[in-house]
Amino acid sequence: MAREMGLDLVEVADKANPPVCRIMDYGKYKYEAAQRAKESRKKATNIVVKEMKYRPKIGVSDFDTKTRKVEKFLQDGHKVKITIMFRGREVTHPELGKKILDDIAERVEDYAKIEAYPRLDGRNMTMVLGPDAKKVKARKAQEAREAKEAAAAEAREAEAAATDSDPVEAPEESTEAPEPVAADTAGSD
């Protein structure tokens, strides 16, 4: 029957008595299964751990730049491992690294949570931050409300400006040149 239809005879359940077979286009079946697997991989979320390294004697502008990058990673949904690298005798002052990590955690507290608290591993102090979906959602909702209120305020201002400035008729300007005024030169010595 399968040859007559130009299809394949595929054994579905070999343990059954008698074995179960099905007539189908096996190439098409394999292709569709591969497409389903590909689609399910697309929907899966891959959590990536990004790393940002700091030093205890970091400058203010470098700290701000790196911290903005950390914020971007967190907003994109990635986890961030923050490492403070100590060199030489700097390791005797772990409070400097702890202060930097606390400053970072404070800056990103609106949309991140601490997943692994700061700890000293040899010459490095590490902390892991992860995106907090609830905080991100609440913050986006707040920004949307603020944007909506700002747009409404702008519309009210524009409407008020339109009603306050009634068009006043301007005098018609003539296109003729003004007549020259004769200068009185008599008796001006």
Where do we find the tokens 């390791």?
91
pLDDT at 172: 58
pLDDT at 184: 57
pLDDT at 189: 47
pLDDT at 168: 52
**How many whole angstroms separate alpha carbon 34 and alpha carbon 24?**
16
Instruction: For the chain, list residues with pLDDT below 70.
Output: 164-189
pLDDT at 31: 94
Which architecture, in CATH terms, is 2-43? Roll (3.10)
pLDDT at 33: 92
**How many whole angstroms separate alpha carbon 93 and alpha carbon 121?**
14
Q: Yes or no: is domain 54-132 CATH 3.30.110.10?
A: yes
pLDDT at 102: 92
pLDDT at 173: 57
Taken in order 62, 63, 66, 67, is the CA torsion positive or negative?
negative
Cβ atoms of 127 and 82 within 8 Å: the answer is yes
Please, which residues bridge with residue 125 across strands? Answer: 84, 120
**Residue 122, phi-psi category: left (phi > 0), alpha (psi -120 to 50), beta (remainder):** left
Whether 2-43 shares its CATH topology with 54-132 is answered no
Collapsed DSSP state (helix, strand, coil) of residue 118: strand
Residue ranges of domains in the chain? 2-43, 54-132
**How many whole angstroms separate alpha carbon 76 and alpha carbon 70?**
10
**How many whole angstroms separate alpha carbon 100 and alpha carbon 72?**
18
Taken in order 58, 60, 62, 63, is the CA torsion positive or negative?
positive
Q: Using the 8-state DSSP alphabet, how is residue 146 labeled?
A: H
